[in-house]
Amino acid sequence: MTRYLCLLLLLVPLALPASAQERTELVADFLEMVSTEQETRAVCVGNVVVTATNLRISCDRLELIATRIGELGGAVPTLDKFRYLLATGNVRIVQGDREATCGRAEVLPQEEKVVLTEDPVLIERSSDIVSRGSKITLLRGEGRAIVENPVLTGPPIRDLGPEANEDTEASEPAPAP
């Protein structure tokens, strides 16, 4: 299949100087964009990869909506503000030391959150914690994850039992009354 390449919009605004930000790149097997006076909708299918400043998203299918500006007659419009993104099928999002996988990810920039469903897993490499649940909501700028029906896996917890060098008397059961 022919691969299409489209330079798109910055998906997640970061507090970095413009010189430190990378242009956003979207690669897919197929891309269809439809524009109206108000917005542009795009659907990408097959081997979708979005790379931006400190962000990489890969999935099978990607839908996005952005506010449209620029010349109405142009084939590829200038996109002003990203409003919605839906990634489905083998979704993998890597940003900094966080990695998320799931079947469905909704990015809601106006609410500053990302909602992961369909077997979501969130890996925090810096703390070595893996979170699983039925739904994981990430809140931008708060360093916060809300996990429904959580199962967390992390590094071992130090043994809180008696130390090996303590007297054995301390570990013997108390006499019955």
When pLDDT is averaged across residues 53-73 and rounded to a whole number, the result is 81
Give 134's DSSP letter: S
| Count of CB atoms situated within 10 Å of the CB of 122 | 21
Q: What is the pTM of this model?
A: 0.72
What local confidence, expressed as pLDDT, does residue 71 receive?
55
Give the angle subtended at the CA of 168 by the CAs of 176 and 171, to the nearest 5°.
50
Whole-number pLDDT of residue 124: 92
Beta carbons within 10 angstroms of residue 6's beta carbon? 14
Q: What share of the chain is helix, strand, coil (3-state, %, to 5)?
A: 5, 55, 40
Domains of the chain: 4-155 (2.60.450.10)
pLDDT 10s digits, 75-131: 544 444 678 899 999 999 998 889 999 999 999 888 889 999 999 999 999 999 999
pLDDT tens, 121-161?
999 999 999 999 999 999 988 878 899 999 999 999 888 87
* Among 2, 36, 39, 42, CA closest to 24: 42
What is the Cα–Cα distance from 84 to 65, expressed in whole angstroms?
5
Between 102 and 166, the higher pLDDT residue: 102
Look at residue 161 in the predicted model and tell me its pLDDT: 78
